[in-house]
Amino acid sequence: MSDLDLDELREELDEFAQPEKKGGRSPREERIIAGFEDIQRFVEEHGRIPQHGEDRDIFERLYAVRLDRIRALEECRSILAPLDHQGLLTGTESSVTSTAEEMGDDELLAELEGAGVAGDLTELRHVRRSVEKRAAEEVANRDRCEDFDRFKPLFAQLQKELETGVRETRPFELKAEIRPGSWFIVGGQKAYVSDMGEVFTNDQGRSDARLRVIFDNGTESNMLMRSLQRALNKDEAGRRITDPVAGPLFSGERGEDDQASGTIYVLRSKSDHPLVAQNRDLVHKIGVTNMSVEQRIAGARLQPTFLMADVEVIATYELFNINRIKLENIIHRIFDPARLDIEIKDRFGNPVVPREWFLVPLFVIDEAVKRIKDGTIGNYIYDPKAASLKREES
Over residues 264-292, the pLDDT tens digits come to 899 999 999 999 999 999 999 998 887 88
Least confident piece of the model among 163-177, 202-216, 307-321, 335-349: 163-177
pLDDT at residue 244 in the model: 66
User: Domain end: 210, 241, 272, which one?
Assistant: 241
107 pLDDT exceeds 60? no
Phi, psi of 310 (to 5 degrees): -65, 160
295-351 confidence digits (pLDDT tens): 889 888 889 889 999 999 999 988 766 667 777 888 888 999 999 999 988 888 888
CA nearest to 108, candidates 75, 48, 66, 49: 66
Q: Residue type at 42?
A: F
Contact 269, 314 (CB under 8 A): no
Query: Considering the domain boundaries, does residue 253 fall inside one?
Result: no
Whether 1 is in a domain gets the answer: no
Read off the amino acid at residue 354.
P
- Are 209 and 196 a contacting pair, CB within 8 Å? yes
Mean pLDDT across the stretch 147-171?
85
If asked whether residues 289 and 210 sit together in one domain, one would say no
Is the model's pLDDT at 151 over the cut of 50?
Answer: yes
Domain of residue 167, CATH code:
2.30.30.30
Domain presence at residue 178: yes
Q: What's the rounded Cα separation, in Å, for the pair 176 and 182?
A: 11
Classify residue 274: in a domain, yes or no. yes
Whether 311 is in a domain gets the answer yes
CA 118 to chain centre: 23
Co-location of 52 and 160 in the same domain: no
| Whether the predicted pLDDT of 226 surpasses 60 | yes
Q: Are residues 86 and 164 in the same domain?
A: no
Query: What is the pLDDT, as a whole number, of residue 127?
Result: 42
Which pLDDT band, with edges at 50, 70 and 90, does 55 fall under?
low
12 & 74 share domain: yes
Res 191 pLDDT > 60:
yes
pLDDT at 88 over 80: yes
**Mean pLDDT throughout 70-75?**
87
* Range with the poorest average pLDDT among 32-46, 109-123, 316-330: 109-123
Q: Are residues 118 and 140 in the same domain?
A: no
On whether residue 252 sits in a domain, the answer given is: no
pLDDT at 92: 46
Q: Which helix (H) or strand (E) holds 266?
A: strand 260-269
Shared domain check, 273 and 234: no
Which range, of 79-88, 251-260, 381-390, averages the lowest pLDDT? Answer: 251-260
| 278/304 same-domain check | yes
- Going from the C-alpha of 97 to that of each of 6, 88, 89, 90, 171, the distances in angstroms are 27, 10, 12, 11, 15
pLDDT of residue 110: 43
Better-predicted residue by pLDDT, 206 or 79? 79
What CA–CA distance (Å, rounded) separates 371 from 193?
Answer: 32
pLDDT of residue 11: 56
Report long-range pairs for 254-261 (Cβ below 8 Å, ≥24 apart). Answer: 254/318, 254/320, 255/320, 258/320, 258/321, 259/320, 259/321, 260/318, 260/320, 261/290, 261/319, 261/320, 261/321, 261/322, 261/323, 261/324, 261/327
Domain containing 24 equals 6-127
User: How far lies 325's CA from each of 23, 59, 96, 331, in Å?
Assistant: 39, 22, 11, 10
User: Where is average pLDDT lowest: 45-49, 52-56, 134-138, 182-186?
Assistant: 134-138
Does 191 or 160 have the greater pLDDT score?
191
Which of 88, 107, 127 terminates a domain? The answer is 127
Question: Domain boundary at 241, 268, 287, which?
Answer: 241
Same domain, 93 and 160: no
Beta-carbon count within 10 A of 390 CB = 12
Domain count, the chain: 3
Measuring CA to CA, which residue among 246, 249, 284 is closest to residue 361?
A: 284
Mean of pLDDT over the chain: 77
> Is residue 166 one of the residues assigned to a domain?
yes
Do 31 and 123 share a domain, yes or no? yes
Residue 82 pLDDT > 80:
yes
Same domain, 158 and 231: yes
CA atoms within 13 A on the CB side of 108: 28
Which of 195 and 107 is assigned the larger pLDDT?
195
pLDDT surpasses 80 at 247: no
Higher pLDDT: 239 or 259? It is 239
Is residue 251 assigned to a domain?
no
Q: Quick one: 384 and 277 in the same domain? A: yes
Same domain as 150, residue 192 = yes
Share of the chain above pLDDT 70, in %: 74
